[in-house]
């Protein structure tokens, strides 16, 4: 009896040690396969543990580069706006550690809060519906603390004037804006009608000395690439009216940013492909 107990004990020890090693190896492989930054993200927010922001960002960047190359456009011609609306700060920090500097947000209070927590060299793009009564607080809470704030969703002269007035406090600084164009005709999509874009851009150019008309933006209908063509035409008309060749085009999201670049986008707004599906259960966001 005794002569068997020693080898059995040794065998048992060996097996448990091996099982323990397997667990360690598995854990190491899981964490080593993702980089340091995404590890931080995983620890900070376990619900996003399957996301590897470093690799989703890299994949989007390399697609942008490939399309630029194929379209014979300089690499770097297209700015990637990482749409981080509803996403926790920890994920934005992971993206920042992976050299992402431009972030897009849809809600005023969310942007103000995140801008206070993120490094000051972040360039923020506001891409949601902006009520003109919130323009002042958005500008005054964010502009003094950040590298830049761009409002992509200017849809009326009322809003343009409010933004212009809010910028009076920042002498010598201009606020970059995009005029949002409703290229699909859908009521649910905000924006100026393509027929009214030139006159509104001219008015902004003439009367809003604290704004810099950076370009035109559209959301477009899913799967309808004519929306991009319409925005390009609007841009051409605005460029010729104002005598400018540097009017940018913000168009293209997760599902169609490559098509948008082919058609001339200078800014693409990509959210779910980088950060995963959004969670809209928090109805208190403003
Ligand atoms: C104006 C705008 N642009 C871009 C995006 C990003 O969309 P996606 O997650 O499909 O990339 C959103 C998301 O809500 C948006 O509202």
Strand positions, DSSP E, 21-174: 79-83, 102-105, 123-126, 148-154
Range with lowest mean pLDDT among 13-22, 53-62, 221-230 = 13-22
Nearest residue (CA) to ligand 1, atom 10: 254
The Å distance, Cα 252 to ligand 1 centre, comes to 9
pTM for this predicted structure: 0.83
Structure confidence at residue 36 as a pLDDT band (50, 70, 90): very low
Helix or strand or coil: residue 86? coil
CA of 156 relative to ligand 1 center, distance in Å:
21
| pLDDT of 85 higher than 50 | yes
* Percentage of residues in the chain having pLDDT higher than 90: 76
Output phi, psi for 33, to 5 deg. Answer: -70, -25
Give the number of the atom of ligand 1 that is nearest the alpha carbon of residue 270. Answer: 11
Distance (Å, rounded) from C-alpha 73 to C-alpha 233? 19
Name all residues whose Cβ lies below 6 A of ligand 1: 83, 85, 106, 127, 219, 253-255, 269-273
Give, for 249, the enclosing helix (H) or strand (E): strand 248-250
For residue 229, report the distance from its CA to the centre of ligand 1, in Å: 19
CA distance readout (Å), 158 to 19, 135, 163, 211: 68, 10, 9, 13
Residue whose CA lies nearest to ligand 1 atom number 6: 271
Selection from 89, 66, 16, 68 nearest residue 265 by Cα: 68
Q: Per-residue b/e over 14-23, b at no fewer than 16 CB within 10 Å?
A: eeeeeeeeee
Residue with CA at minimum distance from ligand 1 atom 4 = 269
Distance 23 CA to ligand 1 centre (A): 40
Continuous segment of H or E residues that includes residue 178: strand 175-180
Q: How far does residue 270's CA lie from ligand 1's centre (Å)?
A: 6
Within 10 angstroms of residue 148's Cβ, the number of other Cβ atoms is: 16
Q: What CA–CA distance (Å, rounded) separates 186 from 61?
A: 30
Average pLDDT in the 235-254 region?
98
**36 compared with 159, residue with greater pLDDT:** 159
Pick the atom of ligand 1 nearest to 217's CA: 1
Atom of ligand 1 nearest to the CA of 269: 4
- What is the best residue among 181, 222, 269, 278 to mutate for testing ligand 1's pocket, by most ligand atoms within 8 Å of CB? 269
Nearest atom in ligand 1 to the alpha carbon of residue 153 is 1
For residues 51-76, one letter each, b for 16 or more C-beta atoms within 10 angstroms of the residue's C-beta and e for the rest, the string is bbbbebbeebbebbeebbeeeebeee
What's the rounded mean pLDDT across residues 127-137? 98
Residue 183, phi then psi, degrees to nearest 5: -90, -10
Per residue in 148-187, pLDDT (tens digit) is 999 999 999 999 999 999 999 999 999 999 999 999 999 8
Ligand 1 atom nearest residue 255's Cα: 10
- CATH 3.20.20.10, applies to 50-275: yes
Looking at every residue in the chain, the average pLDDT score rounds to 86
Percent of the chain with pLDDT over 70: 82
- pLDDT tens column, 47-78: 454 579 999 999 999 999 999 999 999 989 99
Q: What is the pLDDT of residue 9?
A: 42
DSSP 10-54: HHHHHHHHHHHHHHHHHHHHHHHHS-HHHHHHHHH-GGGTT--HH
Residue predicted with more confidence, 49 or 280: 280
């Amino acid at each position: 009896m005794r002569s068997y107990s020693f080898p059995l004990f040794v065998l048992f020890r060996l097996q448990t040690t091996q099982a323990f090693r397997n667990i360690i190896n598995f854990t190491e492989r899981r964490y080593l396969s993702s980089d340091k930054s995404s590890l931080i993200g995983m620890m900070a927010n376990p619900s996003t543990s399957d996301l590897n922001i470093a690799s989703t960002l890299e994949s989007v960047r390399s697609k942008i580069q490939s399309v630029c190359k194929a379209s014979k456009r300089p690499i770097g011609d297209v700015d990637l706006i990482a749409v981080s609306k509803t996403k926790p700060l920890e994920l934005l920090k992971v993206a920042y550690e992976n050299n992402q500097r431009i972030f897009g947000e849809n809600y005023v209070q969310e942007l103000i809060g995140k801008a206070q927590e993120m490094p000051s060299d972040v360039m923020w793009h506001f891409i949601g519906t902006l009520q003109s009564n919130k323009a002042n607080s958005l500008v005054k809470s964010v502009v003094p603390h950040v590298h830049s704030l761009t409002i992509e969703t200017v849809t009326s002269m009322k809003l343009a004037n409010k933004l212009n007035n809010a910028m009076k406090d920042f002498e010598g600084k201009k606020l970059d804006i995009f005029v949002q164009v409703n290229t699909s005709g859908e009521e649910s999509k905000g924006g100026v009608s393509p027929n009214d874009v030139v006159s509104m851009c001219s008015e902004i150019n003439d009367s809003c000395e604290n704004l810099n008309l950076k370009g035109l933006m559209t959301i477009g209908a899913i799967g309808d690439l004519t929306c991009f063509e319409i925005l390009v035409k609007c841009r051409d008309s605005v460029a010729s009216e104002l005598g400018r060749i540097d009017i940018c085009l913000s168009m293209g999201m997760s599902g169609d940013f490559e098509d948008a670049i082919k058609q001339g986008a200078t800014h693409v707004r990509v959210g779910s492909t980088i950060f995963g599906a959004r969670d809209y259960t928090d109805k208190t966001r403003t």
